[in-house]
């Protein structure tokens, strides 16, 4: 059987700015589209683009993708192909076992949501309806 998937690349800032036009429902003050949490809650991994170099106060680099697979009250649960990230100073530990990493909102979000609340990139991947 040949199955197709639908990939939608979403810029959080654009989707937030245009929420009235596209009728996006946002969850609380977090400013993430509800579809982001629905994907994770449904067991669909969510690839996110983020900056892994430089100090957390001034992230830099060409960007890197990891996959958010869950969340807790204060952290994202992430599969990171480069291994565990050093979120505060930047870079990576000397390990390539990046499965089920706990990346705190405090130190990961500034690397993902670089331009502030409502910015950032993620992909919503699903089977077409």
Q: Is 23 left (phi over 0), alpha (psi -120 to 50) or beta?
A: left
* CA–CA gap between residue 9 and residue 108 (Å, rounded): 20
Residue 93 lies in a domain: yes
Q: pTM of the entire structure?
A: 0.75
Q: In what order do the strands lie in the sheet with 121-126?
A: 6-11, 121-126, 46-50, 64-71, 75-79, 101-104
Residue 86 lies in a domain: yes
Residue 19 lies in a domain: yes
Q: Kindly state the tokens that stand for 31.
A: 């400013």
Q: By mean pLDDT, which of 28-32, 36-40, 68-72 is the weakest?
A: 28-32
Residue 48 lies in a domain: yes
Say how many Å lie between the first and final Cα of the chain, rounded: 17
Q: What is the CATH number of the domain that holds 18?
A: 3.90.70
Q: By mean pLDDT, which of 35-39, 46-50, 77-81 is the weakest?
A: 35-39
At 16 the pLDDT is 39
* Residue-range definition of the domain harbouring residue 47: 6-126
Residue 25 lies in a domain: yes
Residue linked to tokens 């291994």: 83
Residue 1 lies in a domain: no
Beta strand pairing status for 121-126 and 101-104?
A: unpaired
Task: Give the count of domains, the chain.
Answer: 1
Residue 67 lies in a domain: yes
């Amino acid at each position: 059987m040949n199955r197709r998937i639908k990939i939608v690349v979403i810029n959080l800032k654009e989707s937030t700015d245009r929420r009235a036009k596209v009728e996006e429902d946002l969850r609380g003050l977090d400013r993430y589209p509800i579809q982001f949490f629905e994907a994770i809650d449904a067991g669909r991994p969510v690839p996110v683009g983020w900056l892994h170099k430089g100090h957390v106060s001034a992230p830099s680099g060409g960007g890197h993708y990891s996959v958010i697979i869950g969340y807790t009250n204060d952290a994202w649960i992430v599969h990171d192909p480069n291994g565990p990230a050093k979120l505060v100073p930047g870079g990576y530990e000397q390990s390539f076992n990046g499965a089920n990493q706990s990346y705190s909102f405090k130190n990961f979000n500034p690397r993902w949501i670089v331009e502030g609340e409502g910015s950032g990139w993620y992909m919503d991947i699903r089977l077409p309806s």
